[in-house]
Amino acid sequence: MQRARSVEAKQQRERAILDAARELAEARTVREVTLTDVAAAVGMHKSAMLRYFETREQIFLALTAEAWVEWSAWIRGNLEAGDGRDRGAGQGRDQGAGQGRDQGAGQGRDQGAGDGRDRGAHAAAVIARSLAARPLFCDLLAHAAMNLERNVSLETAYAYKTSTLEQVLLVTDHLRGLLDLTVQQTRDLVGTATSMAGAFWQMSATPGSQLEQMYTEHPDIAHANVEVEPRLTRILTALIAGMRVNP
């Protein structure tokens, strides 16, 4: 009983740390959140917090794994074969009222089952929108391979990798059925979508960023700003169409 309570207390504490880190990263960006910031937000001493997570990177890697689970479930639950039943791109906790503009991802485009090309364009648009609607996931995706996986123990990196691979497999299986692609093509599609979302998000001038300031002060190069959703939609649409041409 004592032990059960202590396990539960530990889980609650871990949850509180993860939630605090997520809120801070959503408000700023991943790179701007330190371990000290998280400790302050959750009201713990840094040394005490390190009993729950070995490094700052382990916290953000855990958030990345959770974001994969959430995104994977959303895609599988919402992306249908262009039958107009897609229910917006928002995350579970954001849904409900006020999400009107996201209703129906295939608006007026391929309301019926659609032919192959329409189905591909529809899936591309929904995938792009689902990623653009998750800025923290995009931010984490770019950081994961470059920074987060490298500042944790081998076992933590392995646990993260197996968890993520499981989600990739689930999304891949779902998309393959919808799009009639090979396993390798679908894996390449998911790899491209998530890698590009991460990379493009880093290149986009988010509010308050130095990039935004640069494009404001130098309108001659403002066209270089990357708009994540339209660019990702175009690229994924062409990618899926091309995969169908050359199986």
CA distance 45 to 47: 5
Residue 238: helix, strand or coil by DSSP? helix
Place of tokens 């646990």: 159
Interface pick for its own copies out of 165, 183, 206, 227 (rule CB under 8 A) = 165
Residue 67 touches its own copies, criterion: CB under 8 A? no
Whole-angstrom CA distances from 24 to 95, 120, 144, 199 are 21, 36, 17, 21
Q: How far is the CB of 167 from its own copies (least distance, A)?
A: 12
Residue 149 touches its own copies, criterion: CB under 8 A? yes
Interface pick for its own copies out of 7, 27, 113, 146 (rule CB under 8 A) = 146
Residue 245 touches its own copies, criterion: CB under 8 A? yes
Nearer to its own copies, 47 or 246 (CB): 246
Residue 198 touches its own copies, criterion: CB under 8 A? yes
Nearer to its own copies, 129 or 143 (CB): 143
Nearest residue to 175 via CA among 161, 159, 187: 187
Residue 51 touches its own copies, criterion: CB under 8 A? no
Residue 41 touches its own copies, criterion: CB under 8 A? no
Burial class (CB in 10 A: 0-12, 13-18, 19+), 110: buried
Residues in Cβ contact with 152 at an 8 Å cutoff, skipping those fewer than 6 apart: 54, 55, 57, 58, 61, 160
Nearest residue to 113 via CA among 78, 89, 80: 80
Query: What residues make contact with its own copies under the rule CB under 8 A?
Result: 31, 117, 121, 142-143, 145-147, 149-150, 154, 157-158, 161-162, 165, 184-185, 188, 191-192, 195-196, 198-200, 202-203, 210-211, 213-214, 217-218, 221, 224, 226, 231, 234-235, 237-246
